[in-house]
Chain A
Amino acid sequence: MNHTELDNATVKELNASGNWAYFIGFYYIFIGVLIVVTGVYFFANKDVAIHLAESAGVSINIKHFLMDANEWLVLLLTLVSACIVFMNAFFLIKFRSSGISFFLTDDTSKLDDTYTHLRNYLRLNSLFSIGSILLSLIAIIYFLID
């Protein structure tokens, strides 16, 4: 069997993956918008944001962190996080649309695009995981030293 000729069952599985990826992609867009709105709101109204966080029952440590935090740094972190989320959404939506194009046209370049978008999504997730793991390790080392 060659890879340009996927059987029907395999294409069906690929399409089902694409449909879920589409849903997750739109969810990521929603989360990205939420992150941007929260960041901009915090930037514009720090006191109100801290009061809201206090009403929501955040711990005293988080409250102090928010009070001491530089607004520009928070805005920058927010925008970087939103960018990562939007890029994830982009790759997932493109993965699905390329998969559908391959299904409809049987054009193998579209299948290549499908694999590429999936790879980019996994690559971004891997890099993000490395960042999270490093931060966790730093937190554990800090705890051990402290």
Chain B
Amino acid sequence: MENKIENEINLKESLFKTASWAKYAAVLTFIGLGIEFSQVIFGALNGGQSFLAGLFKFFFTSIFSLITAINLYNFSKFVKHSVENPDSKYLYQAFRHLKIFFTVLGISIIILSSLLILSLVAFIVKRYMH
């Protein structure tokens, strides 16, 4: 019985530490996105590209990062709720957000790889057809 309680405390601690790192990773992603956005502004000020074109590019490259960061942050938030409040719905919510985080990451990888393969095929066709 004592062993079981000790096990439970260890697991709770381990999950809490994981949630803390999830929060750090999410916050760092938000900061990274902010810096990327400021680079768009500096790029526009420098005259390298138009602000709208930069904003458009930023939106498409950062939308996946934003969704994953939000879900990672929610995972952390719900784990902390579940530690404070022993209700199974919080833990379920936490793991649901973790699943969405990995799903979005996986889907973004599939989309980016497809685009990469498509551009590689276009490059080969362009090079050897002309």
Contacts and interface: CB of A to CB of B under 8 A. Distances in A.
Chain B interface SS verdict (over half): helix
Interface residues of A, number: 40
A91 to B, nearest CB: 12
8 contacts: A3-B11, A10-B88, A13-B96, A13-B99, A20-B105, A24-B109, A129-B32, A133-B31
B39 A4 contact: no
Interface of A: 1-4, 6-7, 9-10, 13-14, 16-17, 20-21, 23-24, 27, 55-56, 108, 111-112, 115-116, 118-119, 122-123, 125-126, 129-130, 132-133, 136-137, 139-140, 143-144
Contacts of A130: 28
Interface of B: 4, 7-8, 10-12, 14-15, 17-18, 21-22, 24-25, 28-29, 31-32, 35-36, 38-39, 42, 46, 72, 82, 86-88, 91-92, 95-96, 98-99, 101-103, 105-106, 109, 113, 123, 127
Nearest to B46: A143
B123 to A, nearest CB: 6
Contacts of A13: 92, 95-96, 98-99
Contacts of A7: 88, 92
B25 A126 contact: yes
Contacts of A1: 86-88, 91
B25 to A, nearest CB: 5
